Chain A
Amino acid sequence: MIVLAPDASSLRAAQPLASVRSWPVTGAADGSTLEGGTLWGECRGSAATPYRTVVDLSGPAYRCSCPSRKFPCKHALALMLLWSEGAIGPDGDLPDWAAGWLATRSARQTATNTEAKDPKPPADPAAAQRRADQREARVAAGLAELDRWLCDQVREGLAASQRSEYRHWDDIAARMVDAQAPGLAERLRALASVPHSGPGWEGRLLEEYAMTRLLVTAFRDLDKLPPPLRDTVRSRIGFTVRQADLLARAVPVRDRWHVLARRDLDQDRIQTRRVWLRGRRTGRPALVLSFAAAGQSLDASLRVGAETDADLTFYPGVVPLRALVTARRDTVPGGTPPGTTATGLLDGYAAALGQDPWLETWPVVLEATPARAPLPCLRDAAGDAVALHPAAGDCWPLFALSGGRPLTVAGEWTPRGLWPLTAWDEGGRPVQL
């Protein structure tokens, strides 16, 4: 809770409000589940009309009719404090104003490929199956259309793309949203910037079109693929796995998970946080995603450099990376993690790529010295080097930290190079780059 407060003063302001007397109307729904749950309440304050506050505990996300620009505001914090003290019972019907906000929020979430959260099991299994079949058919039709569009691009020639406007890709992306394939929609929207990404853009655009068509053909022949690869294809197209189903089905992996790196991305007013972990015992990489609307605070519970005894439940796939933290125990500082060589990095990525050809973001830990050849790169003890990602810039803090000596760097390996995220100083402390 304290972690969620934007600053100490908000929390201080919330404390006097966290009394039942200030809240004539409160309620909670599904507050007992691990992730889900909604709190609502009307707070009597100085204003004539009470402030209406809704907290979606699964985000967490907040909505309040007060004019405060802080997220969460003191009312939302007070409501959560009350709830954590057990002062809000799981009774009362969701009022219309709260339901309305939740509905728009959940629509927005689905559109941005975040987790669809439906804590209740489907009421009518037959109807649910019908809906699922309808969606499969809609996706298949959408993918057939996308296939024609991709082939048209190559038939007419990519040279025209540099003169195209964003709409060229936004239109086909919007059709993929209609076809309920949000994963593809996101992929296509991101392509609009490729023709302006500098020399070699035509090769990168061809790669993207080719790998997208590979998804289309893979989905067409889904039945012929082994089940884990099927899951990978489906998730890249945008089919989501419900958390409840995942938790019911998958076996959690317990390990001491070292938090290696963190990267925040801003897309369409939604912030995405990628946290990369690695298990001490299993050596497994893991990715924990969290999302927040603009102005809301992202989940900060996984601190870079920490090592946590935790259970991770992995989403299915041929190279399972994405995971949920389902249990946490003690946390200690993790120290400098062991790093690989440039050859080890490329071998590891090649092995993973052999399983999942669409894998474009792969967590790595490298022991190397920053160098310039003349573009920034990392050079290992054997003299082999890997380039840093051109969009990562000059990476001066990384050079400053190294001073021309080897250090351990964690980051994301991509086809364009390494995006450095964390480096460890001589005292074994992580420095976020």
Chain B
Amino acid sequence: MSAWHDLVTASLIGTERTVVPAVAIPGLPPLDDENGDPAAMLLDRAALLTAARRAGRHLDQAEPLPASEPDPRPAVSQAAARRLARMLGGDHPDLLAEWLRAVTTRGVRLPPQFLPVLLDLARRAGSKDPALVRLVAEAGGPRARWLAGLNPDWEPVLEETLGQDDVWRLGTASQRRAYLRALRARDPGAARELIADGWAAAGPDERLMFVSVLADGLSLADESLLEAALDDRTAFVRKMAADVLAALPGSAFSLRMAERAVRWLRMEHGEHGPRLMIVPPAGTDAAMRRDGITSDPGPGTSQARYIGLVLEIVARTPPWAWTRQFGLPPAKIVAMPAGDLGPSNPSLFTAWSRAALSQGDQEWMNALVNRALTGKPPLTQAELGALTRLIRQADPRLGAPDVLPRPGPEMLPALWHAIRTLRFRYEMLKELDT
């Protein structure tokens, strides 16, 4: 449309300095508008041409995109789709990973219109949260891969970094970590072998990374490697190894912890029924220090310091030790008054929560959540933090209607929020099963 182009050029220059180009509209008689103001003439011709151009617009041509591979999984329910929209809109976004995991384990398909937002989330999470990236890739399925192929921003998100041994041999520290994490997720044994082979030559930072990678997909097969790391030259590697071992059910480490713990936290039968008492330990020995119990009360210790020491042991003791030692169910144990513990921080509640969470002990988590929500409410920041973690891991059936009290205005905000979160998790998972 060069006539239009000529008009635009003339309008840019201004009719003061140029002539108004002639315009012919196909199908219309020649214009007879020569006797007016040139500016008005230009505008009138432009109006005519604008309408003609808009009405006579040409079709574009485009190559079709290759279609995405079909996703055979059945779609999630409408309720689940609405919930995903809510979560992406800021309602309980921290439960998104659990929702995605539930979607993948149930073999259902999420509504594809949300994939762009999820891919953006995964891109931002990047190497900081490889688990989320994996979940998005898995839940997104072939449609997510197809989309990622269209957008250079998303392409690296789902790119398999595996298969490139060069990355492991020659990559930077963060590339090696990403490689190892991905391998661990796919094949825990292969990752363990790579760590075992590389241990002797690795510096302290890399050894720390090795131990932290083992925390994902942990099994008894990792135990000897971690036990060896307890004797590492570097303190923070030893500490990390102790933390990881504490999360391994059935390990020799947890048996050693259980043996210590029951010596120093005992049940007494007083006038008002059973209660828990702390027996002051004499101090730490070499075996304890090897297992990561580092705070040494020393001579002339204050009460608070040895309580702290015992609680540190409790936090690494598998909770079943208490059930066996006292012959009582978890609910009874966590409800028991604790004699001379006082308002200590961190408290027994916090220590038990850490132990139940790291061992994934559902029965104990449920007992602790119940105590916090229906019995003795958590008070300190540490206790509230422990509750926040518990309600994300505890059995979501706790959130079923009528299991917990209804949230009411008289309730502490933290408890109210905890109950809401449990209810959200319960409903979110129930929707995926229908």
Kindly state whether residue B15 has any CB partner on chain A within 8 Å: yes
If A157-B16, A385-B59 touch, whether A150 touches B143 (CB-CB below 8 Å) is no
Cβ contacts under 8 Å, A349 to chain B: 54-55
Find out whether the CB atom of B15 lies under 8 angstroms from the CB atom of A155.
yes
Nearest-neighbour CB distance to chain B for A303, whole angstroms, equals: 13
| 1/0 contact string of A385-426 vs chain B (CB within 8 Å) | 111000000101101110111000000000100000001010
* Contact call A202/B43, Cβ cutoff below 8 A: no
- Are B47 and A379 interface neighbours, CB within 8 A? no
Select B51's contact among A206, A353, A369, A399, beta carbons within 8 Å. Answer: A353
Q: How far is the CA of A383 from the CA of B62 in the complex (A)?
A: 7
Let me know if B65 and A371 touch, CB within 8 A: yes
- Could you say which of B61, B116, B150 contacts A373, with CB atoms under 8 Å apart? B61
Cβ-defined contact, A159 with B13, below 8 A: yes
Specify which chain B residues have a CB less than 8 angstroms from the CB of A295 in the assembled complex.
Answer: none
Tell me the dominant secondary structure on chain A's binding face: helix
Please name all residues of chain B whose beta carbon is closer than 8 Å to the beta carbon of A132 when the two chains form the complex: none
Contact A405 B15 (CB under 8 A): no
Q: B147 contacts which chain A residues (CB < 8 A)?
A: 396, 399-400
Q: Is the CB of B150 within 8 A of A152?
A: no
Residues of A contacting B66 in the complex (Cβ-Cβ under 8 angstroms): 404
Are the C-beta atoms of B12 and A371 separated by less than 8 Å?
Answer: no
A210 within 8 A of B: yes
Q: Which of B51, B62, B112 contacts A403 (CB 8 A)?
A: B112
Q: Which residue of B lies closest to A396 (CB)?
A: B116
Query: Nearest chain B CB to A28's CB is how many angstroms away?
Result: 33
Q: Which residue of B lies closest to A379 (CB)?
A: B62
Number of interface residues of B (CB under 8 A): 48
* Binary per-residue interface labels of chain B (40-66) against chain A in the complex, 1 for a CB within 8 Å, 0 otherwise: 101110110011001111011111111
Instruction: State whether A427 touches B75 (Cβ < 8 A).
Output: yes
Instruction: Enumerate chain B residues within 8 angstroms of A386, measured Cβ to Cβ.
Output: 59-60
Asked if A203 contacts B17 (CB within 8 A), the reply is: no
Partner of B42, one of A154, A211, A343, A373: A154
Known pairs A150-B43, A159-B13, A400-B147; A203 contacts B8 (CB<8 A): yes
Q: Is the CB of B56 within 8 A of A202?
A: no
Contacts A377-B62, A400-B143, A404-B65; A206 near B16 (Cβ below 8 A): no
Residues of chain A within 8 A (CB-CB) of B65 are: 369-372, 404
Q: Would B60 and A384 count as touching, CB distance under 8 A?
A: yes
Contact with A along B338-381 (1 / 0, CB 8 A): 00000000000000000000000000000000000000000000
Interface residues of A in 342-371 (CB under 8 A from B): 342-343, 346, 349-350, 353-354, 357, 369-371
Contact across chains for B78 and A213 when beta carbons are under 8 A apart: no
- Beyond A151-B37, A159-B12, A350-B55, whether A203 also contacts B4 by CB under 8 A is yes
| Contact partner, B39, options A154, A202, A211, A394, Cβ 8 Å | A154
Contact status B57-A206, CB under 8 Å: no
A207–B43 touching, CB < 8 Å: no
B14: Cβ under 8 A from any A Cβ? yes
Taking a contact as CB atoms under 8 Å apart, the answer to whether B151 and A385 are in contact is no
In the complex, B168 has a CB within 8 A of chain A: no
**Residue A40 is within 8 A (CB to CB) of chain B in the complex:** no
Please tell me if the beta carbons of A213 and B54 are within 8 angstroms of each other in the complex.
Answer: no
B61 touches A401 (CB 8 A): no
Chain A proximity of B21: nearest CB distance (Å): 12
A155-B39 CB under 8 A given contacts A386-B59, A396-B151, A404-B146: yes
Taking CB atoms, residues of chain B closer than 8 Å to A211 are 47, 50
Q: How far is the CA of A372 from the CA of B44 in the complex (A)?
A: 36
A289 close to B (CB within 8 Å): no
**Which of B8, B68, B113 is A206 in contact with, Cβ under 8 Å?**
B8
A194 at the interface (CB under 8 A from B): no
A379 CB → nearest B CB, Å: 5
Taking a contact as CB atoms closer than 8 A, the residue among B13, B57, B60 that contacts A377 in the complex is B60
CA distance A401 to B111 in the complex (A): 8
A151 contacts B60, CB within 8 Å? no
Q: Give A371 to B116 CA distance when docked, in angstroms.
A: 16
Residues of B within 8 A of A431 (CB): 111, 113
Binding site of B, secondary structure by majority: helix, strand, loop or mixed?
A: helix
Residue A209 at the chain B interface, CB threshold 8 Å: yes
Q: How far is the CA of A373 from the CA of B7 in the complex (A)?
A: 28
B115 interface residue per 8 A CB criterion: yes
A157 B13 Cβ-Cβ under 8 A: yes
- Determine the residue in chain B with the shortest Cβ distance to A214: B47
Chain A residues within 8 Å of B75, by CB: 427
- Whether B67 is near chain A, meaning CB under 8 Å from some CB there, is yes
A150→B40 CA distance, assembly (Å):
8
Closest to A208 in B: B50
Contact of B113 among A210, A350, A400, A415 (CB under 8 A): A400
Chain A residue nearest in CB terms to B9: A202
B189: Cβ under 8 A from any A Cβ: no
Interface pair B62/A373, CB less than 8 Å apart = yes
Q: How many angstroms from the CA of A387 to the CA of B57 in the assembled complex?
A: 11
A370 to B146 Cα, complex, angstroms: 13
A154-B15, A202-B8 known; A403+B47 contact, CB < 8 A: no
Q: Are A210 and B46 in contact (CB under 8 A)?
A: yes
A350 partner residues in chain B, CB cutoff 8 A: 54-57
A93 at the A/B interface (Cβ < 8 Å)? no
State how many angstroms separate the Cβ of B336 from the closest Cβ of chain A.
38
**Alpha-carbon separation in the docked complex, A233 to B43 (Å):** 18
Q: Which residues of B contact A306 (CB under 8 A)?
A: none
Most chain A beta-carbon contacts within 10 A, residue among B37, B60, B66: B60
Tell me, in angstroms, the Cα distance from A203 to B65 when the chains sit together: 32
State whether B8 touches A155 (Cβ < 8 A). no
Interface string of B74-117 (1 = CB under 8 A from A): 01001000000000000000000000000000000001111110
Given A157-B12, A213-B47, the answer on whether A401 and B150 have CB atoms closer than 8 Å is no
Q: Is B38 an interface residue (CB 8 A)?
A: yes
CA gap between A433 and B113 in the complex, in Å: 8
B323 at the interface (CB under 8 A from A): no
Query: Which residues in A have their C-beta under 8 angstroms from that of B7?
Result: 206
Question: Closest CB-CB distance, A201 to chain B, in whole Å?
Answer: 10
Contacts of A151 in B (CB 8 A): 37, 39-40, 43
B11 within 8 A of A: yes
Task: For B67, give the chain A residue with the smallest CB separation.
Answer: A404
User: In the complex, are the beta carbons of A425 and B111 less than 8 A apart?
Assistant: yes
* CA distance in complex: A343, B61 (Å): 12
Least Cβ–Cβ distance between B427 and chain A, in angstroms: 16
Instruction: Judge whether A44 is part of the interface by a CB distance below 8 angstroms.
Output: no
Q: Tell me, yes or no, whether A429 is within 8 Å of chain B by CB.
A: yes
A155 CA to B11 CA, complexed, in Å: 7
CA separation between A324 and B113, bound complex, in Å?
32
Not counting A154-B43, A429-B78, a sample of 9 additional A-B residue pairs whose C-beta atoms are within 8 angstroms of each other reads: A151-B40, A158-B12, A202-B11, A210-B46, A213-B44, A342-B59, A379-B64, A385-B59, A396-B151
**6 nearest A-B pairs in the assembled complex, by CB-CB distance:** A157-B14, A404-B67, A210-B46, A396-B116, A373-B62, A151-B39
The 23 sampled A-B contact pairs (Cβ below 8 Å) are A147-B40, A150-B43, A151-B43, A154-B14, A154-B39, A154-B42, A156-B16, A157-B13, A158-B11, A210-B43, A210-B44, A213-B40, A350-B57, A354-B55, A371-B64, A372-B65, A384-B61, A387-B60, A403-B146, A404-B65, A404-B66, A415-B54, A425-B113
Which B residues are closer than 8 A to A by beta carbons? 4, 7-8, 11-17, 37-40, 42-44, 46-47, 50-51, 54-57, 59-68, 75, 78, 111-116, 143, 146-147, 150-151
A-to-B contact residues, CB < 8 Å: 147, 150-152, 154-159, 202-203, 206-207, 209-211, 213-214, 217, 342-343, 346, 349-350, 353-354, 357, 369-373, 377, 379, 383-387, 394, 396-397, 399-401, 403-405, 415, 423, 425, 427, 429, 431, 433
